[in-house]
Structure 1
């Protein structure tokens, strides 16, 4: 093989690798990124160590929906995974282990397993939004989030309403461990 042909082939391989790395970087920065669940605040829906895919483009074109599982930058310079409970303008209240949004009771089937296992009181303590964030409604441009493991979750009850611009994206796909692979709701 001639020297010129070898250099040309090497250059072609280098270009292909640069393009591949560039595309991977663009996808990770702008579209999707992996995240590891750290802690028990979203059990039983998500387990400590679950690896998930975060969809970063969903909220650049849309807004969070109630009960979406989102990843956001928390005040502690850490990313949290929680569930959206209250949207901007919503009145949120918990009474007798039932979620009320704007006075209407809401079904939370993702909590059924934990509620069935608990015998020493409610899973979620009674509270009003005013008691937790000193506002009757979720402020504009914010969401109220909670972990599914209500007794062991640091969420909007402690850190306040989350600015929508702090949300990295939504997540619903577990890709590891293989036994837990799938879509969570």
Structure 2
């Protein structure tokens, strides 16, 4: 298969478990509280952000809240690639209906490099602005 024809790994409900810090969050009423170091320096643990629930489209660079497939928690990450883009740091392309997410602090982030491209239905919201 040609390099352009390969696909990035897709996360699944039975994906492997990963360990390490992540920006977990507890969602409610459009507000999310950041926990962890993976989005530093843009977002730090304890920050609250306003989240638009389930937007219809996603773009590179947007910060989103997603339900992780490898752990029963949510995370806040930045979209690095959307469907049709090349996989960041690897061969292949992002499959239709998926996004590739990364934390801003790559050394402290558990993200798509670990659990693969994320189905868009697992993205629960897009950050509108930081409150604190």
* TM-score category (smaller protein): 0.7 to 0.9
- CA shift, 1:63, in A, is 0.8
Q: Say which of 157, 165, 172 aligns to 2:121.
A: 165
- CA shift, 1:151, in A, is 1.1
Q: Does 1:70 align with 2:67?
A: no
Aligned counterparts of 2:50 and 2:121: Cα–Cα separation in 1:
19
Query: Structure 1: any 5+ residue segments left out of the alignment?
Result: 1-27, 94-126, 131-135, 177-185
Whichever of the two has the greater Rg, that structure is 1
The aligned residue for residue 174 of structure 1 is 130
Please give the TM-score of this superposition, normalised by the length of structure 2. Answer: 0.74
CA offset digits 1:20-67 (Å, max 9, x no partner)? xxxxxxxx97xx51111010000000001101111115x1xx310110
* Total equivalences in the alignment: 105
Structure with a larger share of its residues in helix: 1
Over 2 Å off, 4+ runs:
none
What root-mean-square deviation, in Å, do the aligned CA atoms of Structure 1 and Structure 2 show? 1.6
Aligned counterparts of 1:172 and 1:55: Cα–Cα separation in 2:
6
- CA shift, 1:172, in A, is 3.3
Query: Structure 2: any 5+ residue segments left out of the alignment?
Result: 1-26
CA offset digits 1:69-115 (Å, max 9, x no partner)? 0001002111100000110011133xxxxxxxxxxxxxxxxxxxxxx
Please give the TM-score of this superposition, normalised by the length of structure 1. Answer: 0.54
